[in-house]
Amino acid sequence: MKRHLLTIALCAAVSAGAQAQTAGGGISAQMLQQLKQSYQETPSDKAIRNAIGSNDIRALALNQDNLKAMDTHFSIRVDSKGITDQKSSGRCWLFTGLNIMRAKAIAKYDLPTFEFSQNYLFFYDQLEKANLFLQGMIDTADKAIDDQMVSWLFQHPLSDGGTFCGVADLAMKYGLVPKDVMPETNSSDNTSRMASLISEKLREFGLELRDMKGKRAADIQAKKTEQLQTIYRMLALNLGVPPTEFDFTRRNAKGEPVEVEHHTPMTFLQKYGDTGLLTNYVMLMNDPTREYYKTYQINYDRHTYDGKDWTYLNLPIDEIKEMAIASLKDNTAMYFSCDVGKFANNQRGLLDINNYDYGSLMGTTFGMDKKQRIQTFQSMSSHAITLMAVDLDQSGKPTKWMVENSWGPASGYQGHLIMTDEWFNEYMFRLVVETKYVPARLQEMFKQKPTLLPAWDPMFAEED
């Protein structure tokens, strides 16, 4: 009987709460009073509030039961030499793409620690993206300035983020050079100030091009070329002038000089890089919001105007794992992207969904699955890293994975991140693999006409 009366009282309270809203759905004084009364600070709540008041939430939510010794053994691992550092820039996509080629060059020529120049390709990335924006202004000049595509372009005139497709298009167009031929500068290590200034200039130029609507196409293109001259000068002042030829002293694993070679960026690509970037690789995605075994293309998600919007095949996570394992068994690392900030213990270098117990700390639950997180923009691909190790159990199933990061050797586990297989399932998004590791039936699927997604789709997110 008492339970029945309590139920009636609770239902009445809920009903009253519903009526407490204002007519427009706002918080009324009555609703606010109800919200205040719902929080009865217990001694444990007060202790938590005091703790949060002077501590990082992550530190308080750290799951002490998950701090046992971390297993760093991997049954399959691709060797690498030296951890790179993108500093305060969003160029993870570029570092990762070059690290894939770097590993192959080191193995093929028995090189010591070696890096391609990230700054060299970054120069052309920024120049090409500036042209992509300006040409976009020309192409959409007949649309209103508040059109969704025009608005999106003005919101995104320039970015230092990107994807593997940018590495492929840029390297095949401009070649590669070793790092000491075009080293980093303060502006390449710290891109925000330069990007802000160039973005402002591009928006100004975009308005100028829109004002030329109706004029001769040749005159509009001449104006765009003039504008790009200004951008080129700004890039040269910040990043240096890209070399057109250079000498490279090849050394063996002991650091001893073997041969002095003369190169152009294209001949260096042909010898030390990968000339099959545009033909021998495919991008795979695990996006449970869309139909599997279909290809998708993101509009305007490219680095060069004359490049191709990146296309991916959407697959269940287990099929992606099979290709990743096949590549690693063949001593070939891969371009891998994920939502790296979720449940990351950066001090240990461990990505594990059990690292933090936010639910117990906040007295609630966080119950969205991967599909729901994507749909609500709670989770998306945020960082590109090099997948280079997996640990398999006796039945051949993965238990954990390891990636080579580009945040310097002091970050994480000796410059690496270790992720549990459960974390991989929830926060892995993209994998780029060589076609030889892709089953024929899946390769055939890339021949289908891809579904075109808008530039503002959640999957557009660039890795940085």
Please state, in angstroms and rounded to a whole number, the distance separating the CA atoms of residues 331 and 434: 12
In 299-382, DSSP assigns E strands to 311-314, 334-338, 344-345, 350-351
Residues 6+ apart with CB under 8 A from 149: 140, 143, 455
- Active-site pick, 92, 131, 286, 345: 92
- Active-site pick, 156, 303, 383, 416: 383
β-partners of residue 451 are 296
Please state, in angstroms and rounded to a whole number, the distance separating the CA atoms of residues 184 and 406: 14
Q: Dig out the tokens for 263 from the structure.
A: 């190169």
Sign of the Cα pseudo-torsion (239, 244, 248, 253, in order): positive
Please state, in angstroms and rounded to a whole number, the distance separating the CA atoms of residues 253 and 268: 19
Q: Decide if 165 is catalytic.
A: no
376, burial (CB in 10 Å: exposed 0-12, middle 13-18, buried 19+): exposed
Q: Decide if 11 is catalytic.
A: no
**C-alpha dihedral, 446 to 450 to 454 to 460, nearest 10°:** -10
Residue with tokens 């200039």: 201
Residues 6+ apart with CB under 8 A from 76: 325, 328, 329, 389, 390, 391, 392
Asked if residues 203 and 157 have their Cβ atoms less than 8 Å apart, the reply is yes
Q: Decide if 92 is catalytic.
A: yes
Please state, in angstroms and rounded to a whole number, the distance separating the CA atoms of residues 404 and 381: 17
Asked if residues 344 and 424 have their Cβ atoms less than 8 Å apart, the reply is no
Three-class DSSP category at 278? coil
Which run of H or of E encompasses 210? Answer: helix 192-211
Q: What is the DSSP letter of 408?
A: -
- Active-site pick, 66, 131, 355, 405: 405
Task: From residue 333, give the alpha-carbon distance in Å to each of 55, 78, 171, 323, 390.
Answer: 39, 6, 19, 11, 11
Active centre residues (catalytic): 92, 383, 405
